[in-house]
Chain A
């Protein structure tokens, strides 16, 4: 035996688990804020994202988020995107991702949960709902016409 296996076992590192975190901000340009309940968090790269967070970007803002099922979502400038629901089982790949784009633009690539269960990812806009069967798509919400 050429390597001290037991030592390797002892130093085996594992990341602390934060069960509430469902994603991570990987890209953040300009003004990006996460609204979490009454909290307003500046969403720098590395900020964890939780289910029920609302991502709000300024006119110069854009944010890219990776989710635990490998879904990728980017929120464009002057946008509001709410994560209404996010659940993912890393063993069975079963899950549910519901988000609402109430303003602005969004691009996304679906992940493992949609691969496992088509339309388990849904994106709402104020007047429509979209089911995702895969994989890459964009959504834009326009200003309602003046009445």
Chain B
């Protein structure tokens, strides 16, 4: 009895010492535009809570307790100005090329306008253009061809008003095949340029 009381007293003392003023906070998972639901782990003094649902939240209260819940519409609204400032997620575009050439296929040629429009919508885009080839031809030649493809796309972007200093062009030759093939195989899907826009 005396011993239990002592343990309880010790626990109360420990809690008393640890009770620095708690600054309340709210943590919540939002569904991504593609519907993906993420996961976050909130830890207050060793009390770990996992949130893994759309608008699922943990509220840290001034008394130091964590309370699981769901963001109300009013709470979501309070984040309007913050969410409006969230930059657009990076986008990747792929353009395909004619064999042994830095000329686009007709299909890719038709997609250009939409790509330019989407890139122009971004403030201050960071663009990395990476050229690729299929496995026909020598590796060294394909290194040059892939870079020429990337450079060609870079020129087009500059012609469409993107500042040159925001665009890097690189050639990866036949090192990163979209469709794996043995050497010396014609594969239209490997003759491409990837445009990563951030």
A117–B41 alpha-carbon span in the complex (Å) = 14
Asked if B164 contacts A125 (CB within 8 A), the reply is no
- B23 with A62: CB separation less than 8 A: no
Asked whether B148 lies within 8 Å of A139 as measured between CB atoms, the reply is no
- The answer to whether A72 touches B40, judged by C-beta atoms less than 8 angstroms apart, is no
Can you list, as one digit per residue, whether each of A94-120 has a CB less than 8 Å from chain B (1) or not (0)? 000000000001111110000000010
- A116: min CB distance to chain B, Å: 15
Please state if A132 and B40 are interface contacts (CB–CB under 8 Å): yes
> Which stretch of B4-12, B78-86, B109-117, B176-184 is in the interface?
B78-86
Assess the B21–A144 pair: CB atoms within 8 A: yes
B101 within 8 A of A: yes
22 contacts between A and B (CB under 8 A): A9-B147, A12-B170, A13-B154, A45-B123, A62-B84, A64-B86, A72-B87, A73-B86, A76-B81, A107-B30, A107-B85, A108-B86, A109-B32, A127-B64, A130-B27, A134-B38, A136-B32, A136-B36, A137-B40, A141-B24, A141-B25, A147-B21
CA distance A57 to B56 in the complex (A): 27
Besides the contacts A27-B85, A135-B32, A147-B21, what 15 more A-B pairs have beta carbons closer than 8 Å? Answer: A5-B144, A13-B164, A77-B82, A79-B82, A105-B82, A107-B83, A109-B86, A126-B23, A126-B25, A127-B23, A133-B41, A134-B38, A136-B29, A138-B28, A142-B23
Chain B positions within 8 Å of A29 at CB level? 81, 85
Q: A9-B147, A26-B124, A140-B78 are in contact. Are A133 and B38 (CB under 8 A)?
A: yes
Chain B residues with CB under 8 Å of A106's CB are 82
B91 to chain A, nearest CB (A): 11
Interface class of chain A by DSSP: strand
Could you say which residues of chain A place their CB within 8 Å of the CB of B30?
107, 136-138
Contacts of B166 in A (CB 8 A): 15
Given A8-B147, A132-B40, A144-B21, verify A139-B26 contact (CB < 8 Å): yes
**B160 contacts the other chain (Cβ, under 8 Å)?**
no
Chain B interface, DSSP helix/strand/loop, else mixed? mixed
Q: A125-B60, A136-B30, A137-B38 are in contact. Are A5 and B148 (CB under 8 A)?
A: yes
Q: A107-B82, A134-B39, A137-B38 are known contacts. Are A66 and B26 too (CB-CB below 8 A)?
A: no
- A76 B62 Cβ-Cβ under 8 A: no
For B101, the chain A residues whose CB sits under 8 A away are 2
CA–CA, A72 and B33, complex, Å: 14
CA distance A136 to B168 in the complex (A): 28
Knowing A64-B85, A141-B23, say if A135 contacts B169 (CB, 8 Å). no
B82 touches A66 (CB 8 A): no
**A130 and B42: CB pair below 8 A?**
yes
In the bound complex, do residue A130 and residue B43 qualify as a contact, i.e. CB atoms below 8 Å apart?
yes
Min distance, Cβ A27 to any Cβ of chain B, angstroms: 5
Task: Please determine whether A119 and B41 come into contact, CB atoms closer than 8 angstroms.
Answer: yes
